[in-house]
Amino acid sequence: MADKNSRISVKRKEKKVESKTNDEAEKGKEKMVKKPDKNVKKPEKTPEQPEKDEEKKNEESEGDENGEFQPIELPPFEIITGEQMTPFYFKFQFRNVEYSSGRNKTLLCFRVDTAGGSTEPLTGYIEDEHATAHAEEAFFQKILPNYSQDCDVTWYVSSSPCASCAAKLTNILHERKKLSLCIFCSRLLEWEEPEIAEGLRTLASAGCKLRMMKPSDFVHVWETYVEKEDQSFTPWEDCQENYDYYVEKLADILK
């Protein structure tokens, strides 16, 4: 109750001051030139504001003549067959570091060989930047959706499958008895997590060959899947050391 009275008294004082100010203004109109309030501080431009302004301009330029924006539909995942990735892309995404900071996608280079080599091998790579399905699942949805012939599938992936993908790959191998799968991994994804380790063990027991990429495998991917032009590739200085580290971890998981 005391708080309410105090709020009322404050309001009354404000009204008295306001009426007094109005009376003084009536007497001396020459003093009524309104000046900008010095205490009002204009918002300062932050370093991010120019970038936001630039983004706004870009968005406006993407609108149609009536100023209406057209929706942009992102692909669920990008599938590139018979093409090659850039050297920078390969060197960053496939580097076999222990902590893969900033590498939040999976690159999957594939090769499909038919029995007897009756047709040319199918090669290409998949990335899952805007994925509703991970690259491993996308491969069987788009590259080999209903393939029933004998074939050998080889993958070179930037990281090993997650628990969900390992389970889906296990089911596929049980369903497609004529398909063999060998996965060469640059890095092990969150191998300390029990469900991921269990998923890899189950996948291996279903017949999938899990391997870590050694230095010569990185050279092979460079030669086969990278648009290198005249550039050459030498494996990173710690490539062999990191390979040995991951080989030991994978052996511990699969034993």
Sheet holding 179-185, edge to edge: 78-81, 122-127, 107-114, 151-157, 179-185, 209-212
pLDDT of residue 216: 97
DSSP 8-state symbol, 141: I
pLDDT of residue 115: 78
In CATH, what is the architecture of 106-254?
3-Layer(aba) Sandwich (3.40)
pLDDT of residue 203: 96
CA 164, CA 172: separation in Å to the nearest integer? 13
DSSP 8-state symbol, 112: E
CA 156, CA 209: separation in Å to the nearest integer? 12
Instruction: Decide if 136 is catalytic.
Output: yes
> Strand, coil or helix: what is 135?
helix
Q: Which is it for the CA torsion 156, 150, 120, 118, positive or negative?
A: positive
For the chain, the domains span 106-254
Q: Could you tell me how many helices (H) and strands (E) the chain has, helices first?
A: 8, 6
Beta bridge partners of 126: 79, 108
pLDDT of residue 171: 95
Among candidate residues 51, 120, 129, 136, the one labeled active-site is 136
Mean pLDDT of successive 10-residue segments in the chain (255 residues)? Answer: 39 41 45 43 44 44 39 47 79 86 81 82 80 80 82 95 94 93 95 92 96 97 92 94 96 94
